[in-house]
Structure 1
């Protein structure tokens, strides 16, 4: 292998052992071999633990990427983040399988996934632009190197113990560097899997950060479980200090990658460890200090257990001891006093993301500084764990904007003090502290951070409440009662202003909807009455200029079920009938109808405040039309009488023909003339009433058409079946909160404020009561289906967090009431 190839291999090893070409000690993969029963048990336990944790990783990644997309100010950046979300969701199962397969493969072929000194030099050169790798790869490698170093620092003892035990079970010499479950191996396996997904650097670094927080920093749990399993199997059960044990029995340097490994005779399985004098004098190393331990994220070091390790691995010295290590437990008043000191020294935080307090680390640091040792009572340790899980849920809650979550998370220590002092705190649903936290979260559910959100009244009030709790709460719970009452008064004022704005918005939308619905219903009436009919110009003017307004006003003021509406519809029908009815057959009915019809039309025209000149012209036009129709009827009637007389004359002539002969030519001419007269009469009648003339609909039929009338639907959306889940969901959304995501716009939180029944529309408003959007029922169902509208969680924040805790913590000795 030439120098260039060797440098390349060493440089890329940290981003994925499988792709670097590094096998076991010899650097060449051999055929897969069968694992022993004990190693298989360790392998299975590790895979189960990793699968569980990596699922949490991707759940956190999905939420974090979505939150980042919310805050993105550029379209390209937001598109990249949403593309990453989709890619990870599609490849989710493949990622998990590939990661687990990579870990399992390292049991069969242990390899050194850690870069050596040459790779260190290469990375240094890469930072100066002299490497084969690009800056994106370099940034990922640096992140993984830092992650591996932190894990080795924080979990040096359990890693050393696991290395010693697996060294007795595997044919290769096992060091920390080629440990199948070592930090480098697990990080490299994850990087290998992640390399198969094409996402942006920012998204990739977010995935690695969540991997570090949710899995890598919790590897101590896995190491403790695997060591315990091997102890149960009788593999080196009595190691007192694995670091010194390793330096005594296996302290050689790990082999250089690619160099042959010397064969070492492993000790027999179950060989007792060697007691090392003075082991108790060695303090625990690598404890992070301050409130930002573990990067300030949930799960950074796992949920705290009874101490900083297990009783089997505790080596004495000052600090927080595990339960069962023989160290007296810290009294509850002393623990409360310590928490009070932490609370008073808690710094103000106005950053972009919230930070959880690592209470276990703070206690460890305090005890080390005072050169004292103590353990925690089992119930106190359980309370710390529950509160940590509680606020971890709140930190990831999508209902609240990040600046509000930053402030609410700062109440972790006061809530912990309450729960430590009163172990029944989690079962008291009406506790003022719980109610205060719920009120703060409920008031802020629709809050959106603007450019100047630090001066927003709600944000300032939340900050004031949180600062008052941190500054004033010691043991007196009345501070929560007082602050709760103060905040409720503030919320009532804010809500009253928002309700006024919302009422105006809703009234305006409902008024617009009623206008549109009334127009649609009037149009439906005229469509039903005038379809396929040719009407005189004066009738069109009456309908379009006068009677449409009369019907519109009646529909708007009194509705379509009122007697006034039905009377006006009947008037429109009578008006049209009066100009299409056959004459003279309808003359009698016309003489009865016209006086009443003219009276109704005159009243309608007067109700619109038409000028007397317009009313006179419109009524005069109708009168002229009716006179013409009357004359037409009289002419038809006269013609019919004439035809009757002529038929009588013809019959008399036929009778006379039997006595006196009539010339043939004269008789023929008379028949032709009679036939022409008859054809003229038929044509006149056909112009008056065509044979295919459609009957006018009755009022009840028109009412049915009106009931079904709606505004024109402009969208081309696919209809959904009535049993569709999203269609059914539209009937159960009153007062629900949603996250509205529209293309090329920042997501906003909004609430369903009103369902406009006239048009079957849904109106959404923001926290201030301003309109955000209006959807038809079909549009809303499709928006829910396409996740344009995402329903937010319902219920008080504290109770939802407790439900999460109950579902994830298993059995607890602390009473919890949701």
Structure 2
């Protein structure tokens, strides 16, 4: 970093000009301007971190806590410059990767990763919850502006760039922060404090970041028809300190002019006009129907919306055509829609066509959500800010419903569980009660949000328990493999009495397993168990008339005691081991004739494993394998396994040492465990696909506008 505070691309970006050379100049301008703001935010973060930690240390109730916070202050001061440097390097890497032809090349760490994590699983789960809450707040508050920025980047790059791939999106900014913080030797309480400060001094200014980036891109002619969302604060960067000082005060969301935003969309809706018109020969000049009359027609149709499982599709535009024809016949005049009203009808119809075909919405919910089309259309006729305001209660309700439903899998014999019934209640209330007072949407949103928040809390608790259980299971699996290794190292290639080999593999292996799990491999009990096994194997090859054989008779009582103590520690009772000790006695007393069966150990001993190892080998650069390896924590997938119902589940952890991918249900229960190779084969067979968990309304609107633009260009 230069002393003047300006951000300069780091060495790697300079050393790899090829990706940067493929980036439009305006993208680099966006990067440099954003880097300056982010650097300023980090500086404010560290300036305030020192004061915050000092205050925590001053209030500490114990000497230990006092020491922890003072050591954290010292660590932050020493590593501050390195922290800021690594953060900015990660930012420049992400922008450089935008210039690469392929996707998924960003060298980043997952936002929430349990693999190789320090601290206890409870600590990591607590950090994961805090991160997810931060991301949710940013997406909720600044999702529209971020989506517009991603759309403009997509236009410049010639390929779709999702919000989570956007270098300025909250997900990647959090990744840069976690990557930079790896060098900090602080405990979980300090990490959580740092995350809160990151949200306060960096993420809270995301609106400024996106507003300036969008304005810069609009000024160069990138999607100017989509009106950029300005900052929530008119004062701009100069108000940062005041904003942070008063952050506890709730700020009203910025609402751009609904009519202005809709007017920009109308330019693209020209291509689909004329799809709603009366099928009647016009004998006189067509007469537009008033908006108020249109609302009455829609309220009439609202009472006849078919059930979700109805076989016939409900075509709203066709239904309106029929009503307009009837009105025209009755009045003797050709009644048509106002241009703006027809544009609203077409836009809402296209949005619901996207939802109907969206794979992220479970099929069981598509018919249910489709019943919201008329209520949403009536709101759009009344209030055009539906298309420009991310905080509009109608679109938030749709997004909340879609988000809750995305992880839903058929619950066995009953296709409609309590989540389905709860959403059905919301839909039915709107159909029964909504006329023109949109306040009902806010009421239902508040009630449904309480329901989903409670669900998330329960899910997080179960997910945490699932993760802890998986960690313990994998620890046990690793211990089993280690025990098998030490037994095989001592027995492979040897000729041993069959009863002795059976004892080692079936009984003493359990002693070793419990010992390593309880005490570890550096402990005295583990070394004692190994020495006892070595002496037992050694004793099987001795002859009575040799010096070693005579020495064995002197050591035999100690060996027998060690064997009995070890078996007792593993809960083997004396009755179950009686036969072994009788055979062992016969072998030691009569070495030449006390053993009936001797075997050569050729096959390695293997513990029964919970993990499947059968897998078709795939090349390291196989595209499906690379896709599987790039799955991020929190990704939802849909999997069809044989004749079983379709399973929807979320990647909750990638567990070392085998990099096992663990998936949980919507309720946080483990439902699937796969290796990257198994996931790749499912991708290859087409039985697995990832689900887009972005906000449904925003995704639908972006897709519809993109299709309309293509349609207009083709004319």
When normalised by structure 1's length, the TM-score is 0.43
When normalised by structure 2's length, the TM-score is 0.48
Question: Which gives a bigger RCO, structure 1 or 2 (Cα 8 Å, sep 6+)?
Answer: 2
